[in-house]
Amino acid sequence: MHGGNIKEAIERYNLKGKRILDFSANINPLGPPDYVRDIILDNIDCIKHYPDPQSKELKTMVAQYLGVGEENVIVGNGSMELIYLITKALFHREGLIPSPTFREYESSLKSFGSTPRYLRIREEDDFQLYSDDIIKNLHRSKLLFLCNPNNPTGRMIGREELKTLINHTEKNGVFVVIDEAFIDFVNDAQDESMVNLAATGKNIFVLRSLTKFFALPGLRIGYGVGNSGLIRRLEGIRGVWSVNTFAQAVGSQVLKDKGFIKKTCEFIKEERRYLFDALSGFNSLKPYLSSVNFLLIKLIQDKVNSKYLTQALGKRGIMIRDCSSFRYLNSRFIRIAIRRREDNLCLINNLREVLDLG
Amino acid sequence: MHGGNIKEAIERYNLKGKRILDFSANINPLGPPDYVRDIILDNIDCIKHYPDPQSKELKTMVAQYLGVGEENVIVGNGSMELIYLITKALFHREGLIPSPTFREYESSLKSFGSTPRYLRIREEDDFQLYSDDIIKNLHRSKLLFLCNPNNPTGRMIGREELKTLINHTEKNGVFVVIDEAFIDFVNDAQDESMVNLAATGKNIFVLRSLTKFFALPGLRIGYGVGNSGLIRRLEGIRGVWSVNTFAQAVGSQVLKDKGFIKKTCEFIKEERRYLFDALSGFNSLKPYLSSVNFLLIKLIQDKVNSKYLTQALGKRGIMIRDCSSFRYLNSRFIRIAIRRREDNLCLINNLREVLDLG
């Protein structure tokens, strides 16, 4: 039900030994940086020791990277651990989830016996979410999950509008979890991020990830930012050693790599424009504007649905994300990650063939 | 508060650049096997993909290793993830913990708002725990955490006695979590383990770990065994991708290594006897019999306590585990892991010097 399950695709489409182009997982095509290999080699002998239970070095690097205090940072086994951890700490009876969005907020709430409520993000607005809508629909919910920029829509609520929302939630004792897993891909990410407000605010927890931007999903590295009391509370209710040795070692290094960060942002901006334009050229496709490294696309011809397209491309070794399992989306929607030009061209060519046949 | 924090020891005792002998973490001194390096090298390119969310290959290997069904196995980010996960799934008001024992059962219960209750394992019995005692003290507790063999005492409840206990708990609807993190070190481990009963029983979950036996604490690999319904329930309430790529790859291979397993068991048996005898030769030390790869030791001279000894050895680059933080133990107890002969000799020699000075 998530993107990026290569092994399953190999079995399903009989692709063993064939080249696979994975547009289903939103991973930076420029990564991981080459030197990650050396960091892993240098740390192999360390696996016979327990990892640092505090992830001190990585925490220091994250704090420097964001310009917040170390006491405002918690590191997790992917941001996934932190989604479940914050839900556990808050233990609210219900939480509001503007949707379509990443599925794990809902799963996390349900796993603790809490009730997820949903706010439909409107297709008529091209899936742009507005603060007013959220405020109007909070009702009794004292917990809000916000994926910003949002997965799978690629849309972002801008800083000023988000501040208005947070002004409201802080006044009304509503806790906001903002998942910024994709914000590093945004132009001027530091200006758009809410990490500074999270470090000083009462009721905000911001989630970030190294998975997507540095292309390290196999290592599991995520982090969160909140006020120091909240961070202490979170550290106090989880098991030790959740962040493995390689995650700590690699995470500490890649965040320093300003060159890679700049190059990625420029590359994604350029390639997003290219891919958006190319996809817009299809009569049968409607791509939505995106702030990040993936595009939501509507299939506007009745005869081709997401399942058909996913399978037709899958057989050709091209994985895309069928979005029919997302709440408030259906079999008219797919999501594709932005990759290198040659791969994007390959996708476009295959789409042309498949859609003509469809 | 746990053993094995090398970085902290380096800072505290100013050991940078010096050789450190870590007797504080209960890790197999023969591991990890050499080929683990190659497995990691072979899998570096895989970190740009998400790990298999089902850990299928590792699950298959664990099932083969134990002789249970794949549907009876769950893999975790260390057994730590599974301690918290089973506590979350059961959500009992209180749980009984025979103590002294591993601290995380208590932490896990508290983290979910449950109340830990304790049963004192008696020093007068040389810390041997008896089923009768547990049964008598269960009272209203419908959840029991049992570390078997127990950390830090090294003592084990034998199979027949454990069966009597489980017979009682199954009849009375008491759920038993048996942490067998160290059972692989026991002679005839397969006969002593409760994994088969866990796979078929109603109310048993057995925890195992690759951390200690294969010396891979930095990778984070644990697993659990229970009936298929329980395993499905556990899988349903946790976040995806908790087991990283290297943990899956290495875990799948080491369990096949019958040679390493046999060699370790023989080695530990031999070296445990040697170290036990050597420590028994000190007037000031009382080591307790152990089934596993570590020894609990009582300091029987008033003038030397665990803090003094831990610091005195620490300054010499030798880390031991001060057991004063364990419930029902005090500053008269330390724990040491069994290492290679030359290291054990080094410990003995240093103990001789320090205790003479003490």
**pLDDT at residue B307 greater than cutoff 60:** yes
What's the rounded mean pLDDT across residues A145-158? 97
Share of chain B above pLDDT 70, in %: 98
What distance, in Å, lies between the first and last C-alpha atoms of chain B?
A: 24
**pLDDT at residue B287 greater than cutoff 80:** yes
Note the Cα B191 to chain centre separation in Å: 18
Residues of B in contact with A47 (CB under 8 A): 32, 36, 216-219
Of B322, B326, B325, B350, whose CA–CA distance to B336 is shortest? B322
User: What is the pTM for the complete model shown?
Assistant: 0.96
Confidence of residue B1 (pLDDT cuts 50, 70, 90): low
How far is CA A37 from each of CA A27, A140, A200, rounded to the nearest angstrom? Answer: 18, 49, 37
- Cβ pair A240:B215 closer than 8 A: no
Q: Which of B15, B26, B47, B214 to mutate to test the interface with A (most CBs of A within 10 A)?
A: B47
- Cβ pair A48:B56 closer than 8 A: no
- Residue B254 pLDDT: 97
Q: Which of B41, B48, B104 sits opposite A239 (nearest CB)?
A: B104
Biggest alpha carbon–alpha carbon distance for chain A: 59
Residues of B in contact with A77 (CB under 8 A): 77, 81, 220, 242, 244
Strands B321-322 and B333-337: antiparallel
> Under DSSP, is residue A259 helix (H, G, I), strand (E, B) or coil?
helix
**CA dihedral over B44, B48, B53, B56, signed as positive or negative:** negative
Share of chain B above pLDDT 90, in %: 91
- Residue A357 pLDDT: 56
Q: How many CB atoms lie within 10 A of CB B79?
A: 26
**pLDDT at residue B328 greater than cutoff 90:** yes
> Under DSSP, is residue A266 helix (H, G, I), strand (E, B) or coil?
helix
- Residue B142 pLDDT: 95
How far is CA A266 from each of CA A3, A30, A287, A292, A348, rounded to the nearest angstrom? Answer: 25, 11, 20, 11, 21
Residues of B in contact with A247 (CB under 8 A): 244
Residues of A in contact with B80 (CB under 8 A): 239-242
A217 upstream amide cis, omega within 30 of 0: no
**pLDDT at residue B131 greater than cutoff 60:** yes
Report how far residue B102's alpha carbon sits from residue B148's, in angstroms, rounded to the nearest whole number: 11
- Cβ pair A49:B22 closer than 8 A: yes
Confidence of residue A1 (pLDDT cuts 50, 70, 90): low
Phi/psi class of residue B188: alpha, beta or left (left: φ > 0; alpha: ψ in -120 to 50)?
left
- Cβ pair B49:A2 closer than 8 A: no
The answer to whether residues A12 and A20 touch, using CB atoms and an 8 Å cutoff, is no
Q: In this structure, what are the phi and psi dihedrals at residue A69, rounded to the nearest 5 degrees?
A: -80, 155
Residues of B in contact with A50 (CB under 8 A): 2, 4-6, 25, 217-218
Share of chain A above pLDDT 90, in %: 90
- Cα angle A101, A312, A315 (rounded to 5 degrees) comes to 105
For helices A341-357 and A306-315, the axis angle rounded to 10 degrees is 120
Q: How many CB atoms lie within 10 A of CB A214?
A: 29
- Residue A356 pLDDT: 78
- Residue A3 pLDDT: 66
A296-334: pLDDT as tens digits: 999 998 889 999 999 999 999 999 999 999 999 999 999
**pLDDT at residue A233 greater than cutoff 80:** yes
Q: Predicted ipTM?
A: 0.95
Of A321, A199, A189, whose CA–CA distance to A265 is shortest? A189
**pLDDT at residue A43 greater than cutoff 90:** yes
- Residue A6 pLDDT: 78
For A210, which residue in chain B has the nearest alpha carbon? B48
- Cα angle A181, A148, A231 (rounded to 5 degrees) comes to 60
